[in-house]
């Protein structure tokens, strides 16, 4: 038989030596032995800085001790003492799976207490407003610690964008259920605050309008005014002519396009194309946040029927087509200047 590698052999010897010492101490070596065992149980451990460690489901005390030793939470001697210490204190409760944060110099007693009583580490996933369901599912897929596949793609606009806390081992389906329930509550709360005489017949229509508002502006102060423009258009039977709805259509529901919209895009025969079709599109085009939900049901009182980007991140609002055309011309001049500057910088 080949000799074991030197490093592995030394680790094995240290482990056996530690186990032998602990066994001797716990076997009844008199008061001094018990005192030494108690000191080992309570004294500061080797961990230099806080560290999170994942304890897998089904791991027994021996496997947990080894994982904590590899993470530097326990040294060889304390790792060897872990199993008998866990058994001697098992009345305090079972050792739990999950991700736990261990503070610097945590003692063996502290380690066992954390594994029995401490909350698991709370991870956070931020879902920005205005993402499509495809983009949100991509975030969930990349989120470290979430498990399982998504059993069913949720409807567009049904997931509330917020920062979501979760624990290692939570399933993606469970987080989706929480996001859907939160959107249902947020939509119901907004609908209960709706203004009178809105051209919206249901909470779902409010959700669709909110999703368009979310994609049209990132300026908080503009949301209600953008909503007012769309409400005015709905009341007059005018097409909404919202570019984000066309982007949603031509991108196949991805919500992003790596090129400017063309005349062919605006003429495309698609149910989400609000240049061709009057009224709201058949579904939301993204996940609106709470502010956009509220803007959709409490729009600003305005006589504006048009808006276009102003080059600073906001928009110019116009009452007449003539005013709007002048604003569009200014925006196109800004775009041309930016393209020229970009081309001049190219080598």
305-347: pLDDT as tens digits: 999 988 888 999 999 999 999 989 998 888 787 776 766 676 6
pLDDT the model gives residue 195:
97
Same domain, 207 and 308: yes
Q: What is the model's pTM?
A: 0.83
3 in any annotated domain: no
307 in any annotated domain: yes
147 in any annotated domain: yes
Q: Residue 23: in which H helix or E strand, if any?
A: helix 6-26
Same domain, 62 and 85: yes
110 in any annotated domain: yes
**E-strand spans in the chain?**
51-55, 98-102, 123-126, 163-166, 306-309, 315-318
248 in any annotated domain: yes
pLDDT the model gives residue 30:
55
Same domain, 176 and 72: no
Same domain, 162 and 211: no
Same domain, 132 and 112: no
- Structure tokens belonging to residue 276: 């061709």
Same domain, 295 and 231: yes
pLDDT the model gives residue 22:
53
Same domain, 99 and 81: yes
Q: Residue 197: in which H helix or E strand, if any?
A: none
Q: How many domains does the chain have?
A: 3
Positions in the chain short of pLDDT 50: 1-21, 25, 28
The residues pairing with 306 across neighbouring beta strands, listed in sequence order, are 318
pLDDT the model gives residue 334:
84
- Cβ-contact 161, 287 below 8 angstroms: yes
Same domain, 331 and 274: yes
pLDDT the model gives residue 3:
41
- Cβ-contact 112, 92 below 8 angstroms: yes
Q: CA-CA distance, 242 to 213, in Å (whole number)? A: 9
5 in any annotated domain: no
pLDDT the model gives residue 343:
64
Domain range for residue 98?
A: 11-117
Same domain, 155 and 215: no
Q: Are strands 51-55 and 98-102 parallel, antiparallel or unpaired?
A: antiparallel
pLDDT the model gives residue 8:
41
pLDDT the model gives residue 74:
97
- Cβ-contact 240, 280 below 8 angstroms: yes
The three-class DSSP label of residue 31 is helix
pLDDT the model gives residue 15:
42
* First-last CA distance in the chain: 66
Q: CA-CA distance, 211 to 215, in Å (whole number)? A: 6
pLDDT the model gives residue 19:
45
């Amino acid at each position: 038989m080949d000799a074991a590698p030197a490093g592995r052999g030394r680790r094995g010897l240290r482990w056996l030596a530690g186990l032998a010492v602990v066994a001797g101490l716990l076997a009844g070596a008199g008061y001094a032995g018990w005192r030494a065992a108690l000191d080992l149980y309570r004294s500061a451990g080797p961990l230099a800085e806080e560290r999170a460690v994942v304890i897998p489901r089904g791991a027994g005390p021996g496997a947990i001790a080894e994982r904590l030793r590899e993470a530097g939470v326990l040294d060889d001697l304390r790792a060897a003492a872990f199993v008998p210490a866990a058994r001697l204190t098992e009345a305090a409760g079972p050792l739990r799976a999950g991700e736990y944060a261990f503070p610097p110099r945590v003692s063996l007693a502290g380690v066992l207490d954390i594994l029995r009583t401490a909350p698991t580490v709370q991870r956070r996933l931020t879902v920005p407003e205005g993402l499509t369901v495809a983009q949100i599912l991509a975030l969930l897929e990349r989120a470290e610690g979430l498990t399982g596949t998504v059993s069913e793609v949720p409807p567009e606009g049904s997931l509330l964008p917020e920062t979501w806390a979760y624990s290692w081992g939570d399933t993606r389906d469970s987080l989706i259920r929480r996001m859907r329930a939160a959107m249902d509550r947020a939509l119901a709360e907004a609908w209960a605050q709706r203004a009178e005489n809105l051209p919206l017949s249901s909470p779902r229509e409010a959700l669709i309008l909110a999703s368009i508002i979310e994609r049209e502006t990132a300026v908080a102060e503009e949301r209600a005014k953008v909503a007012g423009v769309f409400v005015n258009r709905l009341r007059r039977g005018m097409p909404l002519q919202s570019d984000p709805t066309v982007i949603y259509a031509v991108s196949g529901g991805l919500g992003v396009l790596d090129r400017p919209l063309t005349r062919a895009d605006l003429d495309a025969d698609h149910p989400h194309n609000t240049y061709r079709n009057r009224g709201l599109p058949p579904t939301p085009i993204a996940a609106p946040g709470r502010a956009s939900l509220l803007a959709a049901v409490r729009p600003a009182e305005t006589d504006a029927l048009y808006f276009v980007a102003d080059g600073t991140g906001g928009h110019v609002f116009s009452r007449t087509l003539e005013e709007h055309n002048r604003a569009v011309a200014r925006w196109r001049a800004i775009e041309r200047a930016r393209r020229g500057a970009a081309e001049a910088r190219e080598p």
